[in-house]
Amino acid sequence: MLITEYRGETANLKVLAREIEADPHLAGKCSLTLTPLRQDRRDSLRHAQWAEISISVAAGLATNTLYDALKALVERARDRGPVDEVNPRSEDGGEDTEGPEGTDR
């Protein structure tokens, strides 16, 4: 299972989650988990709430079309605000050293 995680503003990631659920290529094929993060950024002038979104896709479903649709939605989210990819990991919780390009798509 391919698990991709992104960190950003909660509101932006909620929009991303809705867009993923509404996308015809991704709907029903991705499992989403949105986790609020504690505010430890005292030096930040921004008052936004931060969160991480975890997007899981079964390995057999990780096709080029699905990956490209997800990538496009993440790029749209980046246009709205900061969205940083957290180190990708596999289902067993270890880091995926090959990254998305090394997966079976």
Q: Where are the alpha helices (DSSP H) in 55-97?
A: 64-80
What's the whole-number mean pLDDT along residues 9-13? 94
| pLDDT tens-digit series, residues 41-99 | 554 545 678 999 999 987 776 678 888 899 999 999 999 999 999 976 555 554 444 44
Task: Yes or no: say if 6 and 53 are a contact pair by the CB < 8 Å rule.
Answer: yes
- Token pair for 12: 């932006």
Question: Does residue 41 contact residue 88 with C-beta atoms inside 8 Å?
Answer: no
At residue 102, does pLDDT exceed 70? no
∠ CA 1-84-36, rounded to 5°: 80
